[in-house]
């Protein structure tokens, strides 16, 4: 479980996120949603320690993040960013192996893990020798997911993983991703700006605006009982996608 307590992060005196209180439950999928610039990516970066909070506390299974060994902790987190973040000059196989090699995991274990993940993400073995630029956007995101799962992390963070894909590929990957989340039973935090996607994936949705949480709850709660005008407007603006 990940807990944020009164977490604030400022850039040049302006709050990217402000007094955030949120819980990301174990084995559940929590979706962060809200307009561009509302602080979604900042929350993921705070959880991965890519940026540090100016105030407040982040706890992982009850332990304060600042006391946790960063190297061990990074091992327990898989992170997929929108553009995938693959290294263009490395083959798919080398992209996948990079982190495991840093942790001195033996070659046989790494290769076994790759085999498992190829099946899980429906990638053919023949793709391993290719370079990222030789794959389609959807395949690249499958590889990014594979890479994030290589060390079998407890927590999986995904920042708009399907944002750049065309609708058909996106639909296919949504379906596969949901199956994967269900099968792996990990703590998933996913960012999207698409409400229908949020509803599809989420056990809990956290809707943000201007660095603050406006409403959080199950998709049904959010859709049926929007607590203020902003939530209502946000839902109405995307209604055609949800119904």
Q: Is the dihedral of CA 32, 34, 35, 38 positive or negative?
A: negative
In the block, tokens 């005196």 appear at 13
Minimum separation from the CB atom of position 38 to Mg ion (A):
9
Minimum separation from the CB atom of position 196 to ligand ADP (A):
18
Choose between 35 and 172: whose C-beta lies nearer to Mg ion. 35
Minimum separation from the CB atom of position 149 to ligand ADP (A):
23
User: Are residues 32 and 208 in contact, defined by beta-carbon separation less than 8 angstroms?
Assistant: yes
Segment contacting Mg ion by CB under 5 A, of 35-43, 44-52, 60-68, 163-171: 35-43
- Among residues 41, 95, 144, 187, the one that binds Mg ion under rule CB under 5 A: 41
Tokens linked to 81: 């960013």
Minimum separation from the CB atom of position 67 to ligand ADP (A):
25
Minimum separation from the CB atom of position 240 to ligand ADP (A):
23
Choose between 41 and 174: whose C-beta lies nearer to ligand ADP. 41
From Mg ion, ligand ADP, none, which one binds at residue 38 (CB under 5 to 8 Å depending on kind)?
ligand ADP
Choose between 37 and 119: whose C-beta lies nearer to ligand ADP. 37
User: Are residues 3 and 22 in contact, defined by beta-carbon separation less than 8 angstroms?
Assistant: yes
User: Are residues 19 and 179 in contact, defined by beta-carbon separation less than 8 angstroms?
Assistant: no
Minimum separation from the CB atom of position 30 to ligand ADP (A):
15
Choose between 11 and 171: whose C-beta lies nearer to ligand ADP. 11
Choose between 46 and 96: whose C-beta lies nearer to ligand ADP. 46
Q: Is the dihedral of CA 224, 228, 233, 234 positive or negative?
A: negative
* CA pair distance 200, 140, nearest whole angstrom: 22
Choose between 154 and 160: whose C-beta lies nearer to ligand ADP. 160
Q: What angle do CA 2, 27, 119 make, to 5 degrees?
A: 125
Count of residues touching Mg ion (by CB under 5 A): 1
Residues that bind ligand ADP (CB under 6 A): 11, 16, 36-42
- The answer for residues whose C-beta is within 8 angstroms of residue 169's C-beta and 6 or more apart is 136, 137, 138
From Mg ion, ligand ADP, none, which one binds at residue 16 (CB under 5 to 8 Å depending on kind)?
ligand ADP
> Strands, E, within 87-241: which ranges?
155-159, 187-192, 204-209, 212-217
Task: State whether residue 90 is helix, strand or coil.
Answer: coil
Tokens linked to 225: 């009982």
Segment contacting Mg ion by CB under 5 A, of 4-12, 34-42, 126-134, 192-200: 34-42
Positions that interact with Mg ion (CB under 5 A): 41
């Amino acid at each position: 479980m990940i807990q944020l307590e009164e977490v604030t992060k400022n850039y040049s005196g302006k709050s990217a996120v402000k007094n955030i209180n949120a819980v990301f439950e174990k084995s559940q999928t929590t979706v962060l949603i809200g307009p561009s610039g509302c602080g979604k990516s900042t929350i993921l970066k705070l959880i991965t320690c890519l940026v540090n909070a100016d105030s407040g506390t982040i706890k992982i299974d009850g332990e304060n993040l600042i006391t946790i060994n960063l190297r061990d902790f990074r091992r327990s987190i898989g992170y997929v960013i929108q553009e995938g973040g693959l290294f263009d000059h490395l083959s798919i196989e080398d992209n996948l192996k990079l982190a495991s090699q840093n942790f001195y995991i033996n070659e046989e274990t790494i290769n076994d893990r790759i085999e498992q993940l190829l099946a899980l993400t429906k990638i053919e073995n023949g793709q391993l020798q290719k370079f990222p630029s030789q794959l389609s956007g959807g395949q690249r995101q499958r590889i990014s997911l594979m890479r994030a799962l290589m060390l079998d992390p407890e927590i999986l963070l995904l920042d708009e993983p399907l944002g750049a894909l065309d609708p058909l590929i996106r639909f296919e990957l949504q379906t596969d991703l949901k199956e994967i989340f269900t099968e792996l039973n990990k703590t998933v935090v996913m960012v999207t700006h698409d409400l229908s996607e949020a509803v599809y994936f989420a056990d809990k949705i956290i809707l943000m605006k201007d660095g603050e949480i406006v409403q959080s709850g199950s998709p049904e709660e959010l859709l049926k009982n929007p607590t203020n005008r902003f939530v209502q407007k946000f839902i109405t603006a995307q209604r055609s996608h949800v119904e």
